Structure 1
């Protein structure tokens, strides 16, 4: 149920953020997320762009906004250690395609949501949790927190929490249940190849 709610409301907001992510490493995490949210709302709400145009922008800027290899490693969890180098590389690639195909289909789902940063919590020297709220005209407010990691002088999102539930952990649980069917990472890779049209 939480995953369905996150897909309905978080999807467009997540897309709104990543679609305007630029090289802004010097900016503080809270200011970064707030500014990007405001800019991205205008982009997603723009009816002039075609769905294909929006998807291309989403994919390009998703790669800039999120630390995709690190997120993929977090999502694969303990199976990252047992996967071969070739399987790791393929998983990162398939995970990227999976996220793009999952969220790009919701690029036109924006329906008047507003986004505001409400605070931040420093987790350690390199990580900050930026707290925000999504106000949905068609439903209750939703608390969304963004885990931002500064690595090599760049701030990037590595996880998103919806009402306290980590999306990385949610995906990890889903993927682990697939691997558990055989105990082999290859089982998950086969599933992702099928879902992303890669085989």
Structure 2
């Protein structure tokens, strides 16, 4: 997969999406097998690579990237985490709305960056057991004109399908960063969660 170093710290597929020190998984979570986690991340990287090279329109890429995120990431848990304290006071309708808005946001922002992912390749190089939190899969972004950059994927099956729960780039948790940014955006709207979610879904919040 090709990547732009400027955007590497933003790449979260699921993302692309809580770091090894971030998202708190239930204590009953069962760790996915290391080999299965590695294969899963390689599959996700392959899906994004295929999309990057598809030649599809920006809108088609946005929609497909959103679906890649929805299929491969722990969307409910990620949404709960990035919404922070606001999540506790949200009703069921707002929580569902938040999940849908986040999926749309991820597709819009990260698919928009795909065309900049030139000059680097992302290669899965290892994986290690991370106990109840799952498996940490390590990949390295390489490019001729930049230093190699490590990208780690926290993967768990939580007793169900294997999913990405965070991407950590050069030690920076993308979900930790998104949680801080979303919190600031909600504060800017005087704590009006519905207004924030409407803006997030409508694309009025272009980036985290």
What is the TM-score of this pair, normalised by structure 2? 0.73
For 2:27, the equivalent position in structure 1 comes to none
CA contact (8 A) 1:12 1:109 kept: no
Query: Out of 176, 188, 195, which is 2:196 matched to?
Result: 188
Query: Out of 144, 149, 153, which is 2:151 matched to?
Result: 144
> Helix, strand or coil: the match of 2:113?
coil
- 1:183, 1:51 → 2: CA distance? 33
For 1:119, the equivalent position in structure 2 comes to 126
- 2:203, 2:46 → 1: CA distance? 32
1:76 aligns with 2:83: yes
CA contact (8 A) 2:47 2:68 kept: no
**Structure 2: 5+ residue stretches without partners:** 17-31
RMSD: 3.0
For 2:184, the equivalent position in structure 1 comes to 177
CA change 1:44–1:141 in 2 (3 A) is: farther
- 2:187, 2:44 → 1: CA distance? 39
**Structure 1: 5+ residue stretches without partners:** 19-24
For 1:21, the equivalent position in structure 2 comes to none
For 2:41, the equivalent position in structure 1 comes to 33
Higher relative contact order (CA 8 A, sep 6+): 2
CA-to-aligned-CA distance 1:119-143 (integer Å, 9 cap, x gap): 2232223511111111133422211
Displacement over 4 Å in runs of 4+: 10-15
- 1:119, 1:144 → 2: CA distance? 11
- 2:180, 2:128 → 1: CA distance? 26
- 1:56, 1:178 → 2: CA distance? 24
What is the TM-score of this pair, normalised by structure 1? 0.76
CA change 1:54–1:160 in 2 (3 A) is: same
How much does 1:117 deviate? 2.0
CA change 1:173–1:32 in 2 (3 A) is: same
